[in-house]
Structure 1
Amino acid sequence: MKALIFNPFSGAAGDMILGCTLDLGADRQYVRELIEASVDVSVDIREVKKKGIKALDVRIGVPEKEKVRKYPELIDIIKSAKLPSRVEVSALDIFAKMADAEAAVHGYSDLADLHFHEVGQSDALADVIGSSAAIHALGCDAVYCTPINVGSGTVESAHGTLPVPAPATLEILRNGKLFFRGGNVKKELLTPTGAAVLSHFAKPLETFPQGRVIAIGYGAGDADLPGPNVLQGILSEPDSCLIQDTIEVLETNADDVSGEVLGNLFEELLAMGARDVAVIPATMKKGRPAHVIKVICKPEDSSKLARKIITETGSLGIRVMPSRHRLIAARQIELIRIDVAGEEFEVAVKVARDSEGVLLNISAEFEDCKQVARKSGTPVKEVMRRAEEVAWKLFS
């Protein structure tokens, strides 16, 4: 497994992402020719130093004056460029993210009326198409992004002076669920284009995962800053061959809730999308018996699950553990047929593999095995053993 990790300690823009991925090893000639065949621009790639760090600086040469494009015009340009399928899909989705953000901020109900100012120019088209092509060319199994430095202060735009991060950029970050932080530099460090490209490709990470570094690349930004204005990218080979996943842990104490209510809550939370639920006996102050309710969930499900816990238990607050990544196996449900007491039954089994396809574990689905046990009069433990034995022979 190979992972691409963006580390935007000095922000990110479209040209920085493009330079970073080219520096990591994407074919420069292929990407340059693809951009110049798709958009009326020229591409200049050169090495520069930013506060002592060698980086690739990608300059997009555009006509001196361009008209402001509407969103449908950008879509037509991308679709008529005859891009490779994966690159076209990515470019269209990236501009859709920017369009949705602009529409939400400015109150447009019809995207056909949406004018793109800074992000509708040819250089933005080139950055999006080039970055999409370069990232796909790297052939990574996963893409991640650490918290983004967005800068601080204000920025001048076609709509006047705006706060940093700009409203459209902030909307893209919200929709993409990327982590970000402010910085000491009074400047916009994250552009809408940079936010949209990262939002399309990357999953959020708080810290670097363990792994072996394969390559490091740097894409140069235009401005001169107190620190190196570069986007760092890392190609990494995780040491476990397991898959990165981002979760949150919800937790609260309940000291006045019946077992029936807790049992119902357990089922309700799983039905609402919780990845796992645990109800743990505990002793609180003054020796009162209680339970600790612990829920593992995706970050986007935290709010609704926390609300459910509060309404069902009367709790006044839910602890949310800082979002973290976990390592998981890829899981797939397979159906197999087994012979029990002279009769054939269909049973589901869960097959776990690592990112390279190596079989890690097989477990029979308990509910299926319970039904077989009831119909055949065979102990459920024996049904599970037979199902897993057959599955190991089939999928090893």
Structure 2
Amino acid sequence: MRCLLFDPFSGAAGDMILASLIDLGADLEKIRGAVGSVCGDRVEIKVSDVKRQGIAAKHLVVEVEDHENRSYPEIVSLLKDGGLDKDLLNLALSIFDRIAEAEARVHGVDPEDLIFHEVGQLDAIADVVGSVAAILDLDVKVVSTKISVGGGFVQHHDHGMLPVPAPATLEILRSSTLIWAGGPIDEELLTPTGAAILSEFVEKTFKQFPPVKLHRIGYGAGSKDLDIANVLRALLCDLEERRLAPDAVEVLETTVDDVTGEVLGALIDSLMKSGALDASIIPVVMKKGRPGHIIQVIIHPEDAERIAVEIMRTTGTLGVRVMPVRHRLILKRRIEQVKICIEGVEFEARVKVATDLLGEVINISPEFEDCRKIAVEVKTSIREVLRLVESEGMHRFG
């Protein structure tokens, strides 16, 4: 799948996003046309070649005739009166909605009463409209790696020293699906405008680079020279479509030789109720020919200590091994209801539908307890009920 992958290792601002897209190959004349329809001849977009820590990048400057602050309703009117394409207009309005909702929540005011400062000036409006036009021109799905937001404090012209990420930026991140982290330096690396644009377009965030086939790379430079390369990296690539989802797990294991079968059976039930993903008991021959059992439990890493304590408390074992496992590959699962008819009577039973990440149904399995109750009620074999429920599940969802 062709996609646009942002790599915000040094954060993102509106001008950096737009500059990286221009460097990637977005049509500059289309961008200027969209910005001009909103801002008229009051703005001029200039693009230059610069270097940040030795990396060649595009630097974008929007020259404006005025630096007037605008209210949120004024920005909405400006956009609506600009004659923009419907898709472009709706996306630009949505981005400013995100900013307005965040600012309103932070300052405790109604969005209609907001006066934007930097975000309300023509250069910021040009950054938003231009970025939307550029992404629409590339016509690809947008994803991102983890965003570095910086740290420390930033000077605000009205509110003094504010923590990084700035309150409005943090509010935008809260209402998004973006993954972010502080650092790597004490600077404001992610601005509210940058956060809002990424929140609008990014469909998925990866903690690290996913498997891709790379085609083009674009770099958009920030205004400052920092201790790290102050650039936003944008990649045009083919994203490998996985069929199975990785799931981080660990395996707990211990060996016992003095625990009865009844206790081991009760332990499995208890572990599954406590959040274990799976549990099994394996018979083994131990030293001096003694019979014993290996207890193996698959868990999420965060549950390791709690479930290890439960194993120790129930079995008396003095130690539990944590087996190193990178992850397991799993299908997506959901529960659905099906109806079957036996001897003129209708029954409902649950089925577990397992699909890959592309949506293909791989397996359908009936819920055993539902089928067992039906079999007892109609006095028929459990195998027959399981067959009927599975068949109906495959007919409906397969």
TM over 0.5: yes
Structure 1 pair 350–96 and aligned structure 2 pair: CA distance change class (3 A): same
- Mapped partners of 2:250, 2:196: distance in 1: 29
Structure 1 residue 207 displacement after superposition = 0.9
CA distance, structure 1, for counterparts of residue 371 and residue 10 of structure 2: 56
Q: CA–CA distance in 1 between the matches of 2:206 and 2:223?
A: 26
Render the CA deviation track for 1:83-129: whole Å, top value 9, x for unaligned: 33333332222222222221222222x11111111111111111112
Go from structure 1 to structure 2 and tell me whether the alpha carbon gap of 1:208 and 1:327 turns closer, same or farther (over 3 Å shift).
farther
Distance 1:78 1:29, change over 3 A: same
TM-score normalised by length of structure 1:
0.69
Q: Whole-Å Cα distance in 2 between the matches of residues 211 and 220 of structure 1?
A: 24
Cα distance in structure 1, aligned partners of 2:247 and 2:272: 23
Question: Aligned pairs, how many?
Answer: 348
Provide, for residues 287-306 of structure 1, a one-character-per-residue CA deviation record: whole Å limited to 9, x for no partner.
Answer: 9x99979469xxxxx9xxx9
Secondary structure at the aligned position of 2:5 is classed as strand
* Counterpart position of 2:184: 183
The match for 1:154 is: 154
Hey, what does 1:278 align to over in structure 2? 277
CA change 1:144–1:343 in 2 (3 A) is farther
Whichever residue aligns with residue 198 of structure 1, its letter is: L
User: 1:13–1:249: structure 2 CA closer, same or farther, 3 Å change rule?
Assistant: farther
Moved over 6 A (4+): 243-252, 257-266, 289-293, 324-349, 375-378
Q: Determine the C-alpha separation between the residues in 2 that align with 1:39 and 1:292.
A: 62
Deviation at 1:385, TM superposition (A): 6.1
Query: Displacement of 1:231 after TM fit?
Result: 0.4
1:379 is aligned to 384
Give 1:99-110 correspondences, 5 Å limit. 99-108=100-109, 110=110
Q: 1:247 deviation in Å?
A: 7.8
**Residue of structure 1 in register with 2:66 after alignment:** 64
Could you tell me the percent identity over the aligned residues?
38
Give yes or no for contact 1:10–1:228 (8 Å, CA) kept in 2: yes
CA contact (8 A) 1:15 1:59 kept: yes
Report what 1:206 is aligned to. 207
Aligned Cα RMSD in Å?
4.7
How far apart are residue 18 of structure 1 and its match?
A: 0.8
Q: Give 1:32 shift.
A: 1.9
Listed one character per residue, the Cα deviations across residues 293-345 of structure 1 (whole Å, up to 9, x for unaligned) are: 9469xxxxx9xxx9xx99xx9xxxxxxxxxx9998878899999999999999
CA distance in 1, matches of 2:231, 2:200: 20
Tell me the secondary structure at the aligned position of residue 155 of structure 2: strand
1:49 aligns with 51
1:319 aligns with: none
Question: What is the alpha-carbon distance in structure 2 between the residues aligned to residue 78 and residue 326 of structure 1?
Answer: 48
Contact kept in structure 2, 1:2 and 1:142, CA below 8 Å: no
Aligned to 2:82: 81
1:367 Cα offset (Å): 5.1
On the 8 A contact 2:247/2:329 being kept in 1, the answer is no
Q: Deviations over 1:236-279 (max 9, x none)?
A: 3233x227989888999xx9x9988877777xxxxxxxxxx726
**1:245–1:361: structure 2 CA closer, same or farther, 3 Å change rule?**
closer
- Once the two structures are TM-superposed, the CA of residue 229 in structure 1 deviates from its matched residue by 1.8
For 1:117, the aligned partner's letter is H
- Aligned with 2:45: secondary structure? strand
Alpha-carbon deviation of 1:193? 0.7
Offset from partner CA, 1:157-209 (integer Å, 9 cap, x none): 3322323322222222233243122233x532221111111222223321111
Contact 2:366 2:386 in 1 (8 A): no
Larger Rg over CA atoms:
2
C-alpha distance 246-292 of structure 1, shift in aligned 2 (>3 A) = closer
Residue matched to 1:122: 122
Tell whether 2:245 aligns with 1:235: no
Matched, 1:217 2:211: no
Report the Cα distance in structure 1 between the residues aligned to 2:239 and 2:28, rounded to whole angstroms: 26
Q: More displaced, 364-373 or 226-235?
A: 364-373
TM-score relative to the length of structure 2? 0.68
Decide whether aligned partners of structure 1 residues 98 and 389 sit closer, same or farther in structure 2, where only a CA change above 3 A counts.
closer
* Residue 228 to residue 97, structure 1, CA distance change in 2 (3 Å): same
Q: Within 5 A, what are the aligned runs for 1:290-369?
A: 294=299, 350=353, 352=355, 355=358, 360-364=360-364, 366=366
Compared CA separation, residues 37 and 168, structure 1 to 2 (3 A): same
Structure 2 spans left out of the alignment, 5+ residues = 253-262, 282-291, 311-325
Shift of 1:54: 2.1
1:193 paired to 2:193 = yes
SS at match of 2:225: coil
SS class of match (1:158):
coil
Q: Structure 1's 42 and 160: CA in aligned 2 closer, same or farther, altered over 3 A?
A: same
2:249/2:298 contact within 8 Å kept: no
